Each structure stands twice: as C-alpha cells, then as structure tokens.
Amino acid sequence: MGPGGIAAGGKAVLDSFQASLSQHKVSAVLKEKCSAHKVGCLGLCARDVLVEIQNNGSKTVYQYVKPDMVERIVTEHLLGGVAIQEWLVDDAYKNFYGKQIKVVLEDCGRFDPEDIEAYKANGGYTAAKKVLSSQTPEAVIEEIKASGLRGRGGAGFPTGLKWEFGRKSPGTEKYIICNADEGDPGAFMDRAVIEGNPHAVIEGMIIGAYAIGASKGYVYIRAEYPLAVERLKLAIKQAREAGYLGKKIFGTEFNFDIIIKLGAGAFVCGEETALIASIEGLRGMPRAKPPFPAQKGLWNKPTIINNVETFANIAPIIKKGAQWFASYGTEKSKGTKVFALTGKVKNTGLIEVPMGITLREIIYEIGGGIVDNKELKAVQTGGPSGGCIPVDQLDIKVDYESLAKVGSIVGSGGMIVLDSDNCMVNMAQYFLNFTKSESCGKCVPCRIGTKRLLEILTRITEGKGRQGDIELLESLSNDIRSSSLCGLGQTAPNPVLSTIRYYRDEYEAHIRDKRCPAGVCKALISFEILEKACTGCTACARVCPTNAILGEKKKPHKIIQEKCIQCGTCFDTCKFKAIKKGSRQEAVKA
C-alpha cells in the first residue's frame, strides 16, 4: 500500500476486504502489501489496485480491483474456490516479469515490512551476524570489491573501493550515511525499497559500518516520503530491541546505531558534501573536493555515503557470494538495477533488470510498448543530470559506460519514455527550469549559466529564437560543464546537449520556421475546428476557459483566434477529433 495504490483506491479495497472477511469469518491473513507503490512489490503500478490471493499454495493476482469487486472475490474465490477469470491479470503481466531479475526488490511485497520477524524468517540479519561474528572488516571489503557493486545513486563509483578509503582513513570516530534524498523528478526506487523492505537497508548499513569502523550512522531521507520515514523509524526501533543496533550488537564488541535526519527539500543535497552540510543544520551547499568525505566528512570526520539501493544489495552479496552477484550484468557494470519506468509506456512501474539489458527489451517487452501504440521518440534517463536517448539507439545496453557514450547516464534510475507528442526543446527547458531553481547559488557557472541556458531555451519555445542560438547553447553548456563546482552544475547541461545532438532539426524548426513539430510550445501552435468533423455537441465551448469558442448546437463551431490562449482543453475534450492542432505561423498567414 503506497501512493500508487492509495491513488488508485488501495485503502478502500483493503477496507472492503477486511469488512467482507470478518463478515464471512474467513481466516486469511490480510497482508497489506507494502512498498512505495502498493505494488512496488509486484511492480506493475499501471494496473493498480493489484490484489494477490494465496490459498492452498497457489497464487492468483487480480488487477484493477475496486472495492465493489471485493465481495465477489471473497465469496467465489476464497469461499467457493473458483477464481474469477475475467478479472485476473493477463499475459502482459507475465511479460512484465519475464525479463526481470529481483535482488533488491526480491523481498519487497513478500512479507510485511513492519514486521522484523518476517524479515528474519526470510534469512534477514543472517548476513550481518555472519560478518560481525566471523569476518574481518578487510574480508568484507574484499567481498564487496569482488562483487563489482557500484554506487546506485548515479555516479557508479565502486562501493568496495569507497569502503576501503573509509577503512584506511585515520581516526577512531567515523560515520556512515545512507542517502535517501531521492530528489530526481520521475524516480521512486529508493522510496520503494525503504517502504517495502526497510530492514534490508539497515542490515546493509550495519555491514558497511563494520567494514569501515563507524559507530554512528545517519539516514538522510526526504520529508516528502512520510510512509518511508515511518517504516524506517519502526524498523530501527525493532532492530534496537532485537539487539541488532546499539551497544554490543549480535553479542559482539561492535557498537552501532542509526539516526534519521529529515531533508528539507533541496535537490542539491543529493551531492555528498551538500548532504553533509544539511545534516549539520546548514544550507546544503557543496564544497570543493578533495578532501573527500572519506577523509573529511561529517563534523570533519571520515564519512562514507552510499545510496539506499546500494545498501540493499549488500546483504544479498554477503549471503550468496560475490561470484553470484557478478554473474549478472556486463564486464564493468555488475548486478541488477532498479528503474522507475514511467511516461508514455503501457506498463509503468518499478522494474529490476540485470545490467546490460537493452532499452528495447525494457520498453517493448517489460513495458509492453507505447501507450495508444504511438511512435516512440526518446527515452530520458538520469533525470535532470541525464539525457534523451533517441530511437535509433534503442539497442544499446543499459550500463554505466554505454549510457555515458550516448550522452546520458544511468543516474538513480528514472526512465521516462517520450512519444511523438513530446517536444524536445520543451523537455530541455523543463529540466533547465528545474536545475536553475535547484542550483544552490554558490558557484557562478551553475548559478548564472543555468539561468542563461533557460532564458535562451525559453525564447526558442516562444518563437523568438535567433540564428546562432543553438551554437550559443552548446558553447555555454560546455563552459558550465567544465567549470561548475559540483555534479549538479557539471551535469545540468546534459539535457540540452543530448537533445541538440539528436534532435537538432527540432531546434531549427522552432528557430527558423517558428514551428513546434510536436505541437507543444504554445506560442507556436494554434487550434482550429474542422467543420466537417464537428457535430456541434458544444463540449468544447463549455470547457473553454476564455469563451473563445462560438457556435450553435448541432452546428459546426468556430474558435476566435484572438481570444484563444492555446490551453488545449478543447483538443483534449473533443471526442470526434474535430479539433486540429496546427502551426501558428500558418494560421496567421491564412
């Protein structure tokens, strides 16, 4: 039960089940499937609410469940023993899972995340116990190094190596931090992991703390994720009571405890040094590196920061071995990666795939293709620091190196599918608007550079682009890239550069022809009613916010162009496809 499920009415469905079951006195354990999405566990959020029924050893899944369907499911399926065929998930559901390999998400949804006993019953905390009682910190680091695990927060730095730096850094007081400040718009992997399996993150942190020699850990988590915060708090409390956190944990001489710090809403705090400043109660501004946090971090002590997903990979690696983990993925990118597959794809949701899978497999096999069978235009990965990958690159492998080669990044795992209705200049403008707002303002290239990039992009979308603007964007982007202090500024131009690289013609259409090929940029489009198709139903006239549509009932309507604000409401409302989107330029000429 997460926001996805709640948005789709998951709570109402659960309540109905509870009511119906108590009425029939059925002894079924009603599991509130938990994770970021109600089906972060099951993954296929597009078909929420999903209900999984387990009885007599068989598993059945219903899709699009509504509260009024519950009574029939209980009486016919649970009591009568006959599943209701027409409500069951279809083949698309099977395809969705076919190519996935679940390591991090394996346990999400299998049991109640608010119950430590359930985690333990599934092998939980055995890895931490084994490490603490029988392995040296050096051996743990070697194991993680051998697995080839790289940071899942975006940059892909080898985790074992990072831990080794932390281990070798002199000092008795060290810190380990879990970065759960998932700020990328369009990404919700970390929230899903924490909501679905918080103990896995804690176990990973215990092992990491032991490896580097830290006695205190912090989880820096977004306040915008209230359910995740709540479950994490509960999990930490349970772990303390069980003796897995606190003094002499697992009966060894090792002391370690975790404190939760709530973020206050700043994207830049995903950057390590900014995150540290924020935990110290200051403005989240990055500082120059070196010294790296591994040498001088929180309160100037050696500090290791890893992402949620990275920590969630640790216990499985210890349990199943480095070789097992390294058997997935490519030469340089091992293991699996969780992605939030969203946008114009049929099966949106949370997926976990082996590194090295192709984008085509993700979109067409797992994702089931494009909504309304429209034309795929691009895949955006890496959020505001990433880029757009065009259709002709769909067969590239999804790993750190391959995505970098085409001008994007793996990033934290957002994967947004764009179709022919999306304008690439508008996308670049969208991301620059984001980075401009989130720039901390410390260094000039980022603070002023992103603002200038946005100004130029905005004027292009308004039809005021000038010859030479594309070249200006390119040279400015390269300057910002090379001279910004932190990762935010260094990667902020990526959306601009990658869209220019692959969709230069779209920029040119905006600048030279004052035309938006996708029909998105308002200043460049106009709407017109096709007389022949219009039935005079008046639906458009009723929704028009500026009363720009005139016409009598059952007679063709007309748009008064001077009054039209191009909001597109009529276009979305018309059921007869009688409204045509066209170029403003041509409308003016006519």
Q: Which residues of 517-544 are buried (b: 16+ CB within 10 A; e: fewer)?
A: bbbbbbebbbbbbeeeebeebebbbeeb
Q: Minimum distance from CB of 283 to another protein (Å)?
A: 4
**387-390 and 376-381 beta bridge pairing:** antiparallel
Determine the residue type at 260. I
Smallest separation (angstroms) from another protein to the CB of 266 = 5
Residue keyed to tokens 């979305």: 572
Q: Whose Cβ is closer to another protein: residue 285's or residue 314's?
A: 285
- 213 versus 384: smaller Cβ distance to another protein: 384
d(CA 518, CA 553): 32
Minimal distance, residue 195 CB to another protein, in Å: 10
The CB-of-143 to another protein minimum distance in angstroms stands at 32
Would you give the DSSP letter of residue 246? B
Token digits of residue 314: 């640790």
- Our CA angle for 578, 582, 587, nearest 5°, is 110
Give the residue with the Cβ less far from another protein, 186 or 354. 186
Q: Which two tokens stand for residue 470?
A: 């594309």
Q: Which residues of 71-86 are buried (b: 16+ CB within 10 A; e: fewer)?
A: eebbeebbeeeebeee
- Give the shortest CB-474-to-another protein separation in angstroms: 23
How do 349-354 and 336-343 pair as beta strands?
antiparallel
Least distance (Å) from another protein to the CB of residue 8?
Answer: 6
Helix and strand numbers (H, E) in the chain are: 24, 15
Q: Residue 218 pairs with which residues in a beta bridge?
A: 177, 259
- In angstroms, the CA 282 to CA 492 distance is 24
Residues near another protein, by CB under 8 A: 3-4, 6-8, 36-37, 45-46, 48, 182-188, 191, 223-225, 262-267, 278, 280-284, 340, 342-344, 348-349, 380, 383, 414, 416, 418, 422, 427, 430-431, 434, 440, 543, 545, 567-569, 572-573
Take residue 332 and report the two structure tokens written for it.
Answer: 């340089």
User: Which lies closer to another protein via its Cβ, residue 315 or residue 398?
Assistant: 398
Nearer to another protein, 10 or 166 (CB): 10
Least distance to another protein from the beta carbon of 571, Å? 10
Quick one: 7 or 139, whose CB is closer to another protein?
A: 7
Count CB neighbours of 223 within 10 A: 12
Query: Given the complex with another protein, which of 6 and 497 has the nearer CB atom?
Result: 6
* Cβ nearer to another protein, comparing 280 with 471: 280
Smallest separation (angstroms) from another protein to the CB of 191? 5
Q: Give the nearest distance from C-beta 469 to another protein in angstroms.
A: 23
**Cβ at position 43, least distance to another protein in Å:** 10
Compare residues 532 and 575 and give the one whose CB is closer to another protein: 575
Helix (H), strand (E) at residue 354: strand 349-354
- What is each CA distance from 63 to 44, 319, 376, 564, in whole angstroms? 10, 34, 26, 41
Comparing CA positions, the residue from 165, 171, 139, 135 lying closest to residue 254 is: 135
Radius of gyration of the chain (CA): 26
CB nearer another protein, residue 472 or residue 576: 576
Q: Give phi and psi for 217, each to the nearest 5.
A: -130, 155
